Chains A and B, each alone.
Chain A
Amino acid sequence: MTQPPPTLTVSRLEALLDAYGGDAACWPDAERASALALIERDPEARTLHAAALALDAKLALSALPDAVSARLRARVLEIPIKHAAKATVRSPRVGLMALFALVPCVLGFVTGNFWLDRSDNDEDAWGEMSEVASLSVAPTDLFDEEAP
């Protein structure tokens, strides 16, 4: 046994017709059956429904053609060909790959400079040490009056 549809007020039907028009297919599923039942039994509801269908007919006058221009379709279908490489380049994954490649380069540059500085300092230190050493082993005459 089928359940009778829940009752719907005329004002609610009016709101439905105002929003969705007279085509029952556009009405919310939950209210369709009760709205149709109300239209069937209530003359006021039938008048409102007829008015909604009349407005639908007027709106249908300005329905735009379904067909799309061949030119537009061709342009849209060209998009994958034109933008394949561009789409890939813009991918964030590619940016990440570039970052992965860049990091070793930067690290190499920085560490290289650091060790270069260190080796320069070492050379200076060796120079000073050898100078001191040469002074320390040089023969000196403490009684030489001409000595500085």
Chain B
Amino acid sequence: MSSLLASMTWPFAGPSIPRAGMAMSAPSETSPVDESEDDLGCVRRVGRGDQRAYRVLVDRYLGGITRFALRLLNDQGEAEEVAQETFLRLWTEAEHFEPRAQPKTWLYRIARNQCIDRLRKRRAHGQEQELSEEDAGEDRPSGLFARKQAAERVEQALAALPERQRAALTLVHYEGLSGAEACEVLDVSADALESLLARGRRSLREQLRELEAYRPE
């Protein structure tokens, strides 16, 4: 009997004590966090309810996560919801974070999974977003407006890519993740990532041929 009791997980033991205390008081904001502390250290602190460490991670990744979601969803409101949900998961699940993955790729993966769920729901409801063509056919623009129009064309071309190619290109080309990090987020091998990127870029090149005449100033 005593060995059985010893083998059981006693609910009051373990590292969750400070977190349990948070129910009765405001989350801890007292511990100093070095801005240069690595992501894993910050996530561990967040797991203990450290609000300052949480803020450091927000400053590091909120922009990237939001842009990534926006590239995949083409909807600012939905992208912001994904970002909020991603950081909610960081706050509530950091305690159980397994350091097998990097915190950065863990966050991007959470965001990507949510984007996939939302894209699936859209498809199920026949709400695949149509890209705006409102500027097409206007007088030939110049200067900033031409640049804006060129940017919109690139965005349209990106949006037309299959989700996995778009995600790969966004992570590597726009968010500056390394190949290994992108592989972790997308859960693919290095060869598969290279193939996704290559197909994506080739497809973009085809779609953007019409931009050849335009040279950014």
Q: Which residue numbers of A lie inside 8 Å of B, CB to CB?
A: 15, 18-21, 26, 28, 55-59, 61-64, 66-69, 72-73, 75-77, 79-81, 83-91, 93-94, 96-97, 100
Contacts and interface: CB of A to CB of B under 8 A. Distances in A.
A57 B83 contact: no
B154 A61 contact: yes
B204 A88 contact: no
Interface stretch (B14-22, B31-39, B112-120, B130-138): B14-22
Residue of A15, A56, A72 most packed against chain B (CB within 10 A): A72
B66 A68 contact: yes
B159 to A, nearest CB: 10
B84 A19 contact: no
Contact of A62 (B51, B158, B202): B158
Given A67-B63, A76-B84, A94-B20, A18 B201 contact: yes
A87 B19 contact: yes
Nearest to A100: B11
A26 B11 contact: no
Tell me whether chain A's interface is mostly helix, strand or loop, or mixed. Answer: helix
B49 A84 contact: yes
Interface in B15-62: 16, 19-20, 22-23, 26-27, 49, 51, 54-55, 58, 62
Interface of B: 9, 11-12, 14, 16, 19-20, 22-23, 26-27, 49, 51, 54-55, 58, 62-63, 66-67, 70-71, 80, 83-84, 87-88, 91-92, 147, 150-152, 154-155, 158, 169, 172-174, 179, 190, 193-195, 197-198, 201-202, 204-205, 208, 211, 216
A68 B62 contact: yes
Given A68-B62, A73-B62, A80-B27, A88 B22 contact: yes
A88 B88 contact: no
Nearest to B17: A93
A107 to B, nearest CB: 15
Nearest to A63: B174
A28 B181 CA distance: 12
Contacts of A90: 92
A20 B62 contact: no
Nearest to B16: A93
Nearest to B14: A93
Residue of A18, A21, A58 most packed against chain B (CB within 10 A): A58
B204 A59 contact: yes
Contacts of A89: 23
Given A72-B62, A84-B23, A62 B208 contact: no
A63 to B, nearest CB: 6
Nearest to A91: B16
Contacts of A20: 172, 179, 194, 197
